[in-house]
Structure formats: structure tokens, C-alpha cells
Chains A and B, each alone.
Chain A
Amino acid sequence: MTVQLWLAAILFILMVGIGGKKGARSFVALFLNFGVLLLAIILMNDPHMNPIILTLFACVLISCISLFFISEINIKTVTAFISTIITTGALLFFILMLTDMAMIQGFSEEEIEEIGAFSLFVGVDFVKIGAAMIIMSTIGAIIDLSISISSPMREIYFHNPSISRKDLFISGLSIGRDILGTSTNTLFFAFFGGYMALLIWFKDLSYSIGEIVNSKVFSSEMIFIGSAGIGVALAIPVTSWITAYYLVKKRSG
């Protein structure tokens, strides 16, 4: 058996043992999400498909799986879903602009050696693929943040049904603020765990600061982290506002 199979088996046992039925659903959701991601990547190979549109579709599916399949369809998951889609859409424009300007698409000097045998003129737009990649890497964190805000907001509304929309929005923001730090931390360490080899490489080959900040690999990694952080921060007001809007609308309606 391979390492991955063993790890997957251990993860499955732990998730079912600790989370019961919901744990099992979370485990299945992980692989459904992987399937969606893979399908999106395979479809991106068609030069006639727009990777950005594909990414948006994939994000909708992934949010459905992570919210509606693991939990169920209710006001919490629906508002989290809408907020995720809106945040992702807003982030997408910003990221697309930045990947184009900073020219961080495709492969770097450092990577090019090992793919020397490959043809690089493959007819798909790597700027759009780069933007798709950044969005995909943030989607998990945005979904997590949205549900972590909308769920306690519903509790507040439940215990205090006469609360005004503005007060509900403000309490959503304050919940968001409390989890902002841990969310950015999660992303930060996840990225740095992945970039360990790169950091050692820069230090070992004694790149100067000027060379590091202008190199394609480093700037694209930094733009990754920055965009992820921006997405997470953006999701807080978006989710608070949408959840407050829907909860109060439900009351008056």
C-alpha cells in the first residue's frame, strides 16, 4: 500500500470515529471536491473553454458539496453559500488584474529545467489558469470563514429575535474579527509548509533580496498568500451583511 492510501485510511478512521456520520460525510466530501477540482483542470485543457468561467462553476459546486452535503440546506448554509460566491467573484477580478500586470503566470526560470522535454506552446492561456489556481487555493478558507460567521449569527438572531439589521451586522463583524487571526494563520502556515524547499533554496543559493522579490516564483507565492488573506478579510463584511440581510428579511416577510 502506498503512503497516501495509509494516510487516507487513518484519516477515514479518525473522521468516522470522532465525527460519526457527519465525519463520514466530511470524508466523502473531501474526495468529491477533489473530483470536481480534477474535472475542472481536465476541462481547462480545452483551449476553447474559459478557465475563469470553469473556476467559477467549480467553486459553486465545491461550495455546494462543502456546505449542503456535509451540513444541510438551511438559512446558515444558504447565506454562507451566497457569501462565498460573491467574495470569490469579487476576488477574481482583482487577482486576474494582478497576475496579468505582475506577469507571474506559467513557470519560472527555476522550474523550467525539469520540464525541458515538454512543449510549452500548448495554446491555453496561463494568465487565466494562474488566476484560477489562486482562487481555487482560497476557496476552502472562504467557505470555512463564511459558515463560521453565519452560523453563530443565526444563534444570536435566534436568542434575540428583535435585533435590528445593523446590530446583527455589527455582531457578525465582531465574530469575524475574532476568527480573522486564526484563519490567516492557518493559510500562512499551510503555504509556508509547502514553500519550505523554496525558502531553503533561496537561502542556500544566497539570492539577494532584490533577486528574491523580483523573481517569478517568489512573487507568485507572495501574491498567493496576499490574495488568500484578502479573500478571507473580504469574506467577513460580505458574509455579515448577507446573513443580516436575509435573517431580518425572513422576519419581516
Chain B
Amino acid sequence: MFAKLTRLKLQKTSIKQLFFYIILTLSATTSLYFVFHNHDFYDRPIAEVINTKTEKTTEMTDMNGNNDRQYFQKIVAEMKNGEYSGFEIQLTNEYSDSGAYDQEYQPGDELFVSVDDLKDDNKVLTGYIEDVKRDKYLMIIGWVFILLLLFVGKKQGLFSLITLGVNSIILSYALDIYLRSEGISLMIVCGIGVIFFTAISLLLVNGFNEKTYAAVAATLIVTFTTLLISFIVVKATSGNGLKYEEMQFLTRPYEMVFMAGILVGCLGAVMDVAITLSSSIFGLYEKDPAISIKALRKSGFDIGKDIMGTMTNILFFVYISGAIPMLILFFKNASPLGFTLSMNLSLEMARALTGGIGITLAIPIGIYTSIFFVNRKRAGQ
């Protein structure tokens, strides 16, 4: 029956859908065409590798006894933009087998280069490689992501894409406000941001109803409680064990940036738990409006216990995995285990654990807020 319904629905909306798919294909192809031909939009000179020749290979052993091989590559490339467009340029590249900070270039790769001043007696352009043009790969993965989400998720996929888009715009805007104005704390900006994120993500997908209100209320209570807990712990131990010096990309007070990261980081997982619980509690209530509070609470906790383990895992892996290359570099440079772990994982551990606290707290708080809203709905009837 379910399949029949879907098929009927398909026929009814087929023209609208067809139109949607055409627009989608058009925008995918134009944007992909654009990133493969956008050289003139860049001020920095771009060159496409035409052919390469590996000139020299050196075996090397570093001070810690690691064996690697280094290659010296001569590259001829064609300029794609700027005053020398169409000219050939000669470049050199050194790369190693490990490729920690270098890579082999192949014909077809596009590179940002800087061009040496052309001398009169020298007809060949020379220069050196600054970076790789990566925008096309971002566009490819972006479209694979969008199309797969739409293909698998249909309408819900579209809604999640819109939510992601709106949330990124809010995040970017919130950071702009923080950076432009003196004296506003990052925490306050992110705190207000969190309220918007929660309201938009939950209301857009689940609609305006008691179920969503319960989830929004629970999410906000839990997120700010979690932040408070981590704040108290950090203050009480005066940050003992947190190695802020490993924090990368710092231009602002580090403790604030770290705390704001915790606040935003656990938000998604907390929302997930809150809406899962309120959906199922309201689902049970709608099926049987006379259901007892005790029964609701019991099924709520049963569901909570089921999702607790796998949800805490999500954040754990997201945070810890990011440190893998750095951990390996430390180990390979003969750093002791304890030092390596505390230098590279102290903040990630704290983040993952705080996220876990948020998820676990979201279970009772999610259940009781939902029950509160169920009671209110009952009293109103």
C-alpha cells in the first residue's frame, strides 16, 4: 500500500519534479563548467601541467631512522590566465614518497604559480609553484553530496540541505558580527547563534507543533547546561590538562574560541537526541492518548539507552580522527607516547567528553520536556 501511495504521488508531482530535476542538472553542469574554466577570475597566475620529467631520485634517512625517497621533478606547464596566457612556463618540484607537505604533479593538474621577471635574453618563462587549484574538486564533492542527499532523501534531503545552507550563513554572519564589533564576547554571539540554529533546524524539518517545541526547549536547556558544566570544570581545575598551545589557527583569545567550539560542536548531537525522544513520545501519545506518564517515561528511557552509546561514538570519532596525521608525525619523530597524546588529543578529548555529557543529559531532559508538553496538550483539550 505504501508503495502504491508513493507511486500515485509521483505521478501527481511529476511535472514539478521534472522541472526541478532539469534546474538541478543545469546548475550542476554550469557550475562544474565554471570551475573548470574560471582561470580569468583569479588574480593569481594559474598554469596547467603539460608534461613532467623526474630528474633525480635520492634515498634519504632522517635523524630518527625513517627511510624516505625524494624526487626532483621538472615540469613544463601552460599559463592559463593573466598577461602570459598561452605561454609555456618551466617549473620545478620536489616531492617525497610520504607526501606530508609535497606531492607529485601530473599532466592536467592546475597550479597557482608565481612568474619570475622575464629577462630580455631569456625567452622561456620560469617560476615556482605556490599551491594547487582545488576548487574543482570541492565543487565535485559538493555536487555528489547534494545529489546523493536529494536522491536518497527526496523531500527530507532537500530540507536538510536547506537547513545546512541556512545554518552556514548564520554561522558566517555571527562570526562577522563578532569580528567587526569590539567588546562583544564570542560566547554571547555563539549563544544567540545557537538559539537560531536550533529553531531553524528543528522547525524547518518538523514543522510548528508541540513535538518540535519540546525538542527546541530541551535542546536549549541541555546545550547551555553542558556549556555551564564544562565552564565550571575548566575554571575549577584552572584548565589543567588542556594544552591550548596545540590549538591551530589562533588569532583570538584561545579559551573563548575553545568554549565556543564546544557550544556549537555538541549542538547537533543534542538536537538529534532531543527530536528523536520527543518524536517517539508524541508518537506514543498520539497512538494512545490515554497512555500513562509512567509508560511514556519508561519507553523514553528505553529509547535513550539504545541511542546513548552510538551517539556518543559519533562525536568521539569526529574529534579524535582529525588528529591522526599529527599523531603519526609526532610518533615518527620519536616523541614519547604520553607527550604525543597529551599534546595532540587534550582538547579533542575534552570536546568529545563534553559532547558525550550533552548527549547523555539530553535523554532525561528531552523526556521530561516532552512529557511536560504532552501534559499541557492534555490539559488544553
* A interface, CB within 8 angstroms of B: 1-8, 10-11, 14-15, 18-20, 22-23, 25-26, 29-30, 33-34, 37-38, 41-42, 44-45, 47, 66, 70-71, 98, 101-107, 109-112, 114-115, 118-127, 129-130, 132-134, 136-141, 143-144, 147-148, 151, 166-167, 170-171, 173-174, 176-194, 196-201, 203-205, 210, 213-217, 219, 222-224, 226-230, 233-234, 236-237
Q: Which residues of B contact A229 (CB under 8 A)?
A: 145, 148-149
Known: A106-B99, A192-B264. A136 touches B325 (CB 8 A): no
In the complex the two chains form, is A140's CB within 8 Å of B134's CB? no
Known: A22-B308, A186-B272, A223-B141. A177 touches B318 (CB 8 A): no
Asked if B207 is at the interface of the complex by the 8 Å CB criterion, the answer is: no
Q: How far is the CB of B12 from chain A (nearest CB, A)?
A: 18
In the complex the two chains form, is A121's CB within 8 Å of B272's CB? no
Stretch of B19-27, B48-56, B118-126, B326-334 on the interface side: B326-334
Please provide the chain B residues from 259 to 292 with a CB less than 8 Å away from any CB of chain A in the complex.
260-269, 271-272, 275-276
Q: How far is the CB of A174 from chain B (nearest CB, A)?
A: 8
Least CB separation from B197: chain A residue: A189
Known: A70-B309, A120-B101, A123-B68. A187 touches B145 (CB 8 A): no
- State the CA gap A213–B272 with chains docked (Å): 30
Q: Which residues of B contact A23 (CB under 8 A)?
A: 305, 308, 360
Least CB separation from A112: chain B residue: B101
Q: Is the interface of A mostly helix, strand, loop or mixed?
A: helix
Known: A137-B322, A204-B251. A124 touches B328 (CB 8 A): yes
What's the A-B contact tally at a CB cutoff of 8 Å?
417
Number of interface residues of B (CB under 8 A): 135
In the complex the two chains form, is A133's CB within 8 Å of B321's CB? yes
In the complex the two chains form, is B251's CB within 8 Å of A185's CB? no
In the complex the two chains form, is B318's CB within 8 Å of A140's CB? yes
Beyond the given pairs A189-B268, A193-B351, 10 more chain A to chain B contacts, judged by CB atoms under 8 angstroms and listed by A's residue number, are A30-B316, A42-B331, A71-B306, A114-B248, A133-B325, A144-B311, A177-B152, A181-B201, A185-B163, A216-B131
